[in-house]
Structure 1
Amino acid sequence: MKSLIKIVLVLSLFTGFYSCQNEDSTSATPDRPYEEVYLEDIAEIEDFLHTHYVTVDSDFNTTFTQIPDGGSQTPIWDMPELDTIQRKRHDITYTIYYLNLREGSGENITRVDSSFVSYKGFSFAKTTVDAVDTYTQTVFDSKQNPVWLSLDEVIRGWAEVIPKFKTGTFSSEVDGTISFDNFGTGVMFLPSGLAYFSSGTLTIPSYAPLVFSFKLHNLRRRDHDRDGILSMHEYGPNFVDDAIDTDGDERPDYIDVDDDADGVLTKTERSFTYLDGTETRTGYYPFNGALVDNPSTPYDDTKGIPSCSNDFITATRLRRHLDPTCRN
């Protein structure tokens, strides 16, 4: 079933994501230890997964319902779509549970790309009266129309889960709407240490595990430092750890205009000159060369950024913009 969504201009993108992401923020009351809070969070999340089932409609909208006593519904915990991610942070190995309802058929997104997503986020709380547990879900944000969110500027849990999914396809309809199909969609269950932790708001409690359902409609590759190399190529392998900082200047390569601190801009180090007829021009090597040379260009399109010894091909070569001994 296709999801018909009208694209709107969004002037304010998920204020909570941008206003509450500083893990070192100060407050009048000292923050609780991360490990102590995580043990509480993961117990609450796993309890929720054991006691609830999910209903997914034809547009992949989700509804979570508590399983009644004697109920035969399949708990989320037993669903084959449930998967986990292990991430080391705050000297803790976090477990992130997520539902992969559909991976998507398009491109993979990375931690430094912008995502075009629709979503719903809620917190949950359990109360026990006369030995009967009751769960209350509180929705704190919802975007039915997709918005752009840069994954390096949102809460860490999003940056871990969303890259497990792919975009889909889209087409324009005669009424001006955009039809999205085959997009990645799922649900993430985040410990507070990978969300807002102590930074509570009027709608998000402090130290609260959160649940987000989401649909990844599209992506936009980013070049943060405008050096002509996509940030996805400068972040580092596999996007599991923090970003690479080649020269150790506390500016990761993807936001550093001189990655190796040799005094020559990265953009300059990926440049070359070529003769176009009788005129000398400046060109720029892509990070990786094309598979096939374009005969209409006066240079070899298969060449990516070379090493200092002009190795254009070897995948593991040290490209010259990362080699401080090599100056263009």
Structure 2
Amino acid sequence: MKSLFKLVLVLGLFNGLYSCQNDSGTTITEDRPYDEVYLEDIAEIEDFLDTHYVTVDADYNTTFTQIPDGGTQTPISDMPELEFKEVDLHDITYKVYYLNLREGSGENITRVDSSYVSYKGFSFAKTTVDEVDTYTQTVFDSKQSPVWLSLDEVIRGWTEIIPRFKTGTFSAMADGSISFDNFGAGVIFIPSGLAYFSSGTLTIPSYSPLIFNFKLHNLRRRDHDRDGILSMYEYGPDFDADAIDTDGDERPDYIDVDDDGDGVLTTVERSFTYLDGSETKTGYYPYNGALIDDPSTPYDDTKGIPSCSDDYTTPTRLRRHLDPSCRN
């Protein structure tokens, strides 16, 4: 069984392998070019979409069946639910197809959040006998009970597509279990360059495009650098672009404890002092202030992290933790 998580190479191994002979005479095989593999992958994926139809049950589980000769079933490629996203990576513009079976009714998730998902992943392979093509589908991983997956730590195909869906609702049952409803549900068809590429297992061949049926039940906002500002705010407004790196130190703001590189920690720059009776205490401005002030607190809850000129509310203000000329 293969995890969705990215494969981490052991320190000291080559990230890109090349053909050579080591001292023991073992041949190391060079990875195939990404563009060459992608052309094969996208052809296989589109052929699968043209030759299969999907059955969706009441809980949004899917079954893919090859259309027989003369069959009248609607191929996946003709379904209005089929969409795609273009992803630029490896000097290639990948096309990632996905079925939007249900968008979901809850919150939008971002690529730096944790997702609470159930899923089934499988590979597929085509064989041709007497000019008749037959597809074999192999399930390599399945989580019918939801699990937490951080979207910046999984294969790239998930990182790109899951944020196009929303969470749902949930309620506690009498037996102590949780029932989920109105969740986002879909299917992703992922080229190998956005999955495991040359890394193969007994159930996932090298350079294999993959299919995942998924359900997005819930989310958890993350604060990667623990500076009190959610990573979704520090990443930047465009989640299809690279994360913002304010000080240019090659550490994006959401994993940088000093975002503007001025030598003052972000947590310090968002702090303030206030009097609670006769006692002086330290508080921390949120990224955005509350809509309504809480009268039970001895400070103004509507104030977010201010600019150097003490602007606490303008959405486009340059907050002081991003301004190296500003000192707390």
TM-score class, shorter-chain normalisation, is over 0.9
Deviations 1:74-93 (A, max 9, x none): 00001111111111111111
Aligned-partner Cα distance in 1 for 2:8–2:312 = 40
SS at match of 2:42: helix
Kindly indicate whether residue 103 of structure 2 is the aligned counterpart of residue 103 of structure 1.
yes
Aligned-partner Cα distance in 2 for 1:78–1:246 = 44
Aligned-partner Cα distance in 1 for 2:77–2:211 = 14
SS at match of 2:311: coil
SS at match of 1:307: coil
Aligned-partner Cα distance in 1 for 2:174–2:47 = 47
Partner of 1:115: 115
1:19 CA drift (Å): 5.1
- Does structure 1 retain, via aligned residues, the 8 Å contact 2:6–2:154? no
Q: 1:141 to 1:15 in 2, by over 3 A?
A: closer
Partner of 1:293: 293
SS at match of 2:229: coil
Deviations 1:82-107 (A, max 9, x none): 11111111111111100010111111
Aligned-partner Cα distance in 2 for 1:26–1:211 = 25
Q: In structure 2, give the amino acid aligned to 1:266.
A: T
Partner of 1:25: 15
SS at match of 1:239: coil
Instruction: Write out aligned runs for 1:309-320 (5 A).
Output: 309-320=309-320
Q: In structure 1, give the amino acid aligned to 2:7.
A: C
TM-score normalized with structure 2 length: 0.93
- Does structure 2 retain, via aligned residues, the 8 Å contact 1:21–1:196? no
Q: In structure 2, give the amino acid aligned to 1:200.
A: G
1:15 CA drift (Å): 5.3
Deviations 1:215-236 (A, max 9, x none): 0111111111110001111111
Partner of 2:70: 70
Aligned-partner Cα distance in 2 for 1:130–1:47 = 18
SS at match of 1:161: helix
Q: In structure 1, give the amino acid aligned to 2:82.
A: L
Q: In structure 1, give the amino acid aligned to 2:292.
A: V
- Does structure 2 retain, via aligned residues, the 8 Å contact 1:191–1:210? yes
Partner of 2:25: none
SS at match of 1:17: coil
1:21 CA drift (Å): 5.9
1:241 CA drift (Å): 1.5
Q: In structure 2, give the amino acid aligned to 1:233.
A: Y
Partner of 1:7: none
Partner of 1:167: 167
Instruction: Write out aligned runs for 1:224-235 (5 A).
Output: 224-235=224-235
TM-score normalized with structure 1 length: 0.93
- Does structure 2 retain, via aligned residues, the 8 Å contact 1:54–1:76? yes
- Does structure 2 retain, via aligned residues, the 8 Å contact 1:21–1:154? no
Aligned-partner Cα distance in 1 for 2:300–2:94 = 46
SS at match of 2:98: strand
Partner of 2:3: 16
Aligned-partner Cα distance in 2 for 1:197–1:268 = 43
SS at match of 1:18: coil
SS at match of 1:267: helix
Partner of 1:135: 135
Aligned-partner Cα distance in 2 for 1:15–1:120 = 11
Instruction: Write out aligned runs for 1:87-102 (5 A).
Output: 87-102=87-102
1:321 CA drift (Å): 0.7
- Does structure 2 retain, via aligned residues, the 8 Å contact 1:104–1:184? yes
1:263 CA drift (Å): 0.6
- Does structure 1 retain, via aligned residues, the 8 Å contact 2:308–2:319? yes
Aligned-partner Cα distance in 1 for 2:5–2:187 = 21
Partner of 1:187: 187
Kindly indicate whether residue 124 of structure 2 is the aligned counterpart of residue 124 of structure 1.
yes
1:18 CA drift (Å): 2.8
Q: What's the RMSD between the two structures over aligned residues?
A: 1.3
Aligned-partner Cα distance in 2 for 1:310–1:205 = 58
Partner of 1:145: 145
Instruction: Write out aligned runs for 1:246-285 (5 A).
Output: 246-285=246-285
- Does structure 1 retain, via aligned residues, the 8 Å contact 2:122–2:141? yes
Partner of 1:209: 209
1:170 CA drift (Å): 0.8
Partner of 2:21: none
- Does structure 1 retain, via aligned residues, the 8 Å contact 2:165–2:185? yes
Aligned-partner Cα distance in 2 for 1:15–1:234 = 31
- Does structure 2 retain, via aligned residues, the 8 Å contact 1:21–1:155? no
Q: In structure 1, give the amino acid aligned to 2:83.
A: D
1:39 CA drift (Å): 1.0
1:201 CA drift (Å): 1.7
Fraction of identical pairs, as percent: 80
Aligned-partner Cα distance in 1 for 2:327–2:201 = 50
SS at match of 1:199: coil
1:302 CA drift (Å): 1.1
Any unmatched runs of 5+ in structure 1? 1-13
Q: In structure 1, give the amino acid aligned to 2:15.
A: S
